Structure 1
Amino acid sequence: MELGIGIGWRPEIADAVEALPGIDWVEAVAENLCTDHLPDSLVRLRARGVTVVPHGVSLGLGGADRPDPARLADLAARAVLLGTPLVTEHIAFVRAGGPRTASPRLEAGHLLPVPRTWEALDVLCENVRIAQDSLPVPLALENIAALISWPGEELTEGQFLAELVERTGVRLLIDVANLHTNHVNRGEDPAKALDELPVEAIAYVHVAGGVEKDGVWHDTHAHPVTRPVLDVLAELRSRIAPPGVLLERDDDFPPAEELAGELTAVRATLEAAGKARSGSTSRTGASGHGGIAPAASPVESPDDTTTVATGTRATGTRATDTGVATDGARDRAAVAQTALLSALVAGTPAPEGFDHRRLGVQSRALAAKRADVVAKVAPELPGILGDGYRAAFLSYARTRPMSAGYRRDALDFAEQLLITGRPTDDAARRRLTHWWQDRAAARPPRRTTRLVRAARAAIAGR
């Protein structure tokens, strides 16, 4: 399945995406699409023969629980509506808590890494199989960027992905920006990861921008693509011609000509690396890694029960995969993931073995993302609170973890402000009260109510 060159479709840049030359396909965040109708822009793109791939962010296939049937049904419905050749998701967990831990449900609002252990792999593989059985088209999974590492990991990223593919047959969505992020933040060599993973399983590739602050790389999707990320793309292209490559941008959208320039840089990188690979192959008669030999240094697990060689499939004394994760494995995953997420969003003590400084960076990043997304889904709140919005929200987020999505988060934030007598300005507090009442009620206010409120506000403003 050849996809070609694509770009992430977002409502804010829908017109620019439609006008960009040479776009073969687009990717849309699945949760931002309705299950029964499409935005007009996507309808027009599809009419032109542009493939649209739904990209999920909320399944949490790396989580302790089995995938939610309702979420899977929604993703399947979007796949059918789009007539897509595949759907994609992430190797991550996004929520924790609940019945397995007898604790409140917590939402991360972000993709968090699963430990690269055999037991976590068992859980992930069973969840992936459940998802595959529920979807009408093939599934591809994306490697994620991470600020933190789990203690006691037994596999490298490449080995973990290789085992996942071998057990489930799932395709891979390789994000080269995430490989670069993990290189800066966790010291992991992108070339080694590419040597270890089965490149023939790649469905397509993501390219995105980020920024480095105080030695930490933040995968923002809101900055231009950097040279080091393009270098990782070239490394990948030296091994295989990926079926598709897509530019992601989620915020701080530049003018259309800048997006076009980034796409040109992506094309140029692929072309140059492809020519270099062809020249190397013709000189040596080799194929596969384009003349780059895989590393051969062994990596031993902490308990010395498993020895794996880089550049090969992970092997060792571990028991053969049974295809089913035990309840004990899921319970242990639930406890560990809940402890980590609680430390990140609720201020509980850091679990043993984690880097406290990195946990702090991740915690602040999660709170900042919550503030940004709530401002997008409820733009009236920054309008009402003005310059005080961000400080007020971050203060709220320190003690109030998200439990049911960003729209509910916005309502809970407004409710907490009103309970504590804020804002102190009478007019602003009145506007916030009406905003909360309109959205918390079972039905929207009648037109008469809205007109009376508008008249009162006009009189008060005289």
Structure 2
Amino acid sequence: MRHSTLGTGIGWRPEIAEAVERLSGVDWVEVVAENVCPGHVPASLTRLRARGTTVVPHGVSLGLGGADRPSEQKLKDLAERAVALDAPLVTEHIAFVRAGGARTASPVLEAGHLLPVPRTRDALAVLCENVRIAQDQLPVPLALENIAALIAWPGEEMSEGQFLAELVERTGVRLLIDVANLHTNHVNRGEDPAKALAELPVEAIAYVHVAGGVERDGVWHDTHAHPVSEPVLDVLRELVSRVAPPGVLLERDDNFPPQEELAAELTAIRTVLASARPHPDDAVAADESVAGSGPSPSPAPQEQADGATEPARERLAISQAALLSALVAGTPAPEEFDQRRLRVQSRALTVKRAQVVAKIAPELPQILGDGYRAAFLAYAGKRPMRAGYRRDALDFVEQLLVAGRPEDERTRRQLTRWWQERTGERRPRRATRIVRAARAALVGR
């Protein structure tokens, strides 16, 4: 069954909504699924849809690479967004975002960002079962994105291309290939993007991400807040020399430039696409992969049986919980990992938390001014995130108030008012503050 291509698109964000509507030649947009309420779709997206612009929801919190089976509620939420936006497909990541819980007899910890799964047989078996569960509950095809990584798991059994190829073979899932992430893994892990592209099934590509980043001290940070670099465009050239991707999308999540700069980056992407000369058979295969809905290949017999992946899930749960606890809770780091890279990853997760909390609670940087970042990093270094970013913002402010900070009384009153408006509670009394501080210290160990 043939399907039309997506074309050239851009990530829709509220900060650049007006610019996206004015940009010429934008065929489609991608929106972070968790930021859209099905009953209250932003007016900008409604106008774009009325013009015939395709909208694709892109999930970030499902954690299909985690040890647990995917949340039924999160799958339901993603399905509702696909229907509300009349999307031809939905996308998520090959990553884990939380760990701990009953399998490890430890508190559930949230990473607040995407972390890489080990490329092992255990992790692949768990991922494949999780993908099949998701496919069964989603109303449209699913495509999964390769992620950027600052760290590498020891003892990996497959390359990235081999891992993705086997995932596609077992589940029939589509791929969202992020060429910026391939470049990131080239710098940070020494992996050759051309080798990965040669190994993966290009006919399974649903679309492609292009984004900017920055290199600091030999580490590439996939920031989505910098212009697209020439090395990233080189990876895109390598990809389009092999296949004509059904769609290519420019991502930008922060430090948004003027509309003219976004237009220039889209032009650079179109120039690369226009210069491509892929094999005709590859172009047809990719064109058919946008929203193919044929039956998925049957899973291996051992993975069809109930509970067949349980031993693998147990082993994966232990390893992921140990890693995440080291990254966000300050527990001893697993010895097999590169300790310097673990410190870089830990810092990156903390900075990410500060940035996201500042976005969802912009009053806090306004109230605290230049002291916001240092105060939040000090808080986050001792308290892992356990219930999402909105709860994290409330916990951060409560921790400041419990400690009698900041010292400026006017600022403290503003924080108290902010906290009370969102919790409906009075400021904690001294005895309550002492108990809560002690409890937080125990939980944070």
- TM over 0.5: same fold? yes
Which residue in 2 is equivalent to 1:95?
A: 98
Which residue in 2 is equivalent to 1:83?
A: 86
Contact 1:37 1:81 in 2 (8 A): no
Which of 396, 403, 406 matches 2:386? 403
Give distance in 2, aligned partners of 1:394 and 1:37. Answer: 34
Give distance in 1, aligned partners of 2:302 and 2:374. Answer: 49
Give distance in 1, aligned partners of 2:366 and 2:214. Answer: 28
User: SS at 2:66's partner residue?
Assistant: coil
Percent identity of paired positions between Structure 1 and Structure 2: 77
Which residue in 1 is equivalent to 2:361?
A: 378
Which segments of structure 1 move beyond 4 Å, counting only runs of 4 or more? Answer: none
Letter in structure 2 aligned against 1:383: Q
Contact 1:9 1:27 in 2 (8 A): yes
Give distance in 2, aligned partners of 1:269 and 1:442. Answer: 56
1:347 matched to 2:330: yes
Which residue in 2 is equivalent to 1:59?
A: 62
Which of 400, 409, 417 matches 1:426? 409
Contact 1:4 1:244 in 2 (8 A): yes
Deviation string 1:187-230 (CA, Å, 9 cap, x unpaired) is: 00000000000000000000000000000000000000000000
Give distance in 2, aligned partners of 1:231 and 1:442. Answer: 55
1:46 matched to 2:49: yes
Which residue in 1 is equivalent to 2:138?
A: 135
1:122 matched to 2:125: yes
Give distance in 2, aligned partners of 1:322 and 1:382. Answer: 49
Letter in structure 2 aligned against 1:390: R
Contact 1:206 1:245 in 2 (8 A): yes
User: SS at 1:130's partner residue?
Assistant: helix
Q: How many residue pairs end up in the alignment?
A: 405
Which residue in 2 is equivalent to 1:211?
A: 214
Question: TM-score scaled by structure 2?
Answer: 0.89
- Cα distance change, pair 323–153 in 1 and its aligned pair in 2 (3 A): farther
Give distance in 2, aligned partners of 1:65 and 1:442. Answer: 35
Deviation string 1:166-200 (CA, Å, 9 cap, x unpaired) is: 00000000000000000000000000000000000
Structure exhibiting the larger radius of gyration computed from Cα positions: 1
Give distance in 2, aligned partners of 1:288 and 1:85. Answer: 21
Which residue in 2 is equivalent to 1:454?
A: none
Q: Which moved more, 1:324-333 or 1:398-407?
A: 324-333
User: SS at 1:273's partner residue?
Assistant: coil
Please, which runs of 5 or more residues in structure 1 have no aligned partner? 282-286, 290-318, 444-462
Which of 310, 323, 326 matches 1:327? 310
Question: TM-score scaled by structure 1?
Answer: 0.86
Which residue in 1 is equivalent to 2:438?
A: none
Shift of 1:288: 5.7
Letter in structure 2 aligned against 1:49: G
Which of 72, 77, 80 matches 1:69? 72
Give distance in 2, aligned partners of 1:24 and 1:386. Answer: 40
Give distance in 1, aligned partners of 2:204 and 2:133. Answer: 19
Shift of 1:352: 2.6
Which residue in 1 is equivalent to 2:234?
A: 231
Letter in structure 1 aligned against 2:271: A
Please, which runs of 5 or more residues in structure 2 have no aligned partner? 284-299, 427-445
Which residue in 1 is equivalent to 2:35?
A: 32
Deviation string 1:36-82 (CA, Å, 9 cap, x unpaired) is: 22100000000000000000000000000000000000000000000
Which residue in 2 is equivalent to 1:338?
A: 321
Shift of 1:320: 7.3
Which residue in 2 is equivalent to 1:413?
A: 396
Letter in structure 1 aligned against 2:303: T
Give distance in 2, aligned partners of 1:320 and 1:209. Answer: 42
